[in-house]
Every structure is written in C-alpha cells, then in structure tokens.
Structure 1
C-alpha cells in the first residue's frame, strides 16, 4: 500500500468514527429511538458510499470488516483521549467491533 492509499484509508475510517461520535447521540437525543435508525441510515450509508462507492478506503482481502473496525477503534480512541475514560471501559467497544465485523462478514459470506 502506498502512502497516499494509506492516508486515504485512514481518512475514510476517521470520517466514519468522527461522524458517529459527533451526530449519533444528537439524533437519538432529538428523535428518540427513531433517531438511532436515522443515524444508522444517514451516517453509515453516507460514509459507506464515500468509502466504498467513491473508493476512499483501499480494500484488501478482508474488506468486509473495515468499517466495523474503523468505528470500534475510532470510538475507543475517542473514549481514551477526549473522555479520559479508562482503557478497560473502552475495551468493550473493541470487543463489539470485532464481533460486529465477524457477524457482518459471516452474513455476507452466506449471501454469495
């Protein structure tokens, strides 16, 4: 992977985690449970189109897990850096990002 592709991939992952952190809670606060569904559609759909449709993320063999890991690790870093949370508390995000990536990959493999 070249430096340019690495920076583009990092940027795509950062944008996804940043938008989740910035907007998801606000949508849930303002619109309740429907806001969670709106956030899932708008945030995930828009960044998926940017990363995979436009091609911001450079994909290798395990491309079906990239956005789950970007969200998990990005929110983990935000919890540690911004919220000054304990690493152990942020570890829950990593575990669920891994589970989500595995589950998403399994479901996609069942369709092909």
Structure 2
C-alpha cells in the first residue's frame, strides 16, 4: 500500500461516521421515520460507492489482508464522537457488550454453513 492509498483509506474510513453525524439526525428530525430510511439509502449507498464500488475506490484492501467493514468504521467513529461531546463511557458498556456478543454469535452461525 502506498502512502497515498493509506491516506485515502483513512479519509474513506472517516467519511462514513462523519456523514452519519452530520446528516442522519437532521433527516430524521425533518422527515420523521422515513428520514431514517432516506439517510440509510443516501448516506450508506453513496459512501459505500465512494469507498468500494468505483474503479479506483478510496479504501484499499489487499487480497490477504484484514477485512474492514463500514459498520466498524461507523461504530467507532460515532462512539468516539459521542465521548468527545461528553457522553458517558460506563453506561454504554452494556450495549457494546451486547453488540459484540451478537456479532460473535452471528459470525459463529455463519461459519457453520458458509
């Protein structure tokens, strides 16, 4: 991976949680529940296309390297932004534990047939 690819990958990873924090809540406030669906389509679809779906994507992943999911970038980015803005870490540990447990369980189930 070149230096330019590394920088583009970091910016691509930053882009998804940044767009979520910037506009998802505004769409929900303005349009209600349908705003959440619009945000899911517009933000996730657009950022996924920029990061993965074009001929020269922002995120560079090697064939045998670690696989990074956009959900991980969103979770880490939004969590860190919430902490920086004064959110409490200790009360969130229950939700983080539940999310990690669900992810591990889902991965285990998928490994049985994929």
- 1:66 and 2:72 aligned: no
- How far 1:94 sits from its partner (Å)? 8.2
SS of alignment partner, residue 58 of structure 1: coil
Distance 2:81 2:74 in 1: 10
How many residue pairs align between the two structures? 106
- How far 1:48 sits from its partner (Å)? 0.3
Structure 1 residue ranges without an equivalent (≥5): none
- How far 1:77 sits from its partner (Å)? 1.1
Q: What is the aligned partner in structure 1 of residue 7 from structure 2? A: 7
Distance 2:47 2:97 in 1: 20
Larger CA Rg, structure 1 vs 2: 2
Give CA-to-partner distance per residue, 1:19-69, whole Å, 9 cap, x none: 000100010111111000000000000000000023101124453x42011
Q: What is the aligned partner in structure 2 of residue 49 from structure 1? A: 49
SS of alignment partner, residue 52 of structure 1: helix
Structure (1 or 2) with the greater helix fraction: 1
How high is the TM-score relative to the length of structure 2?
A: 0.74
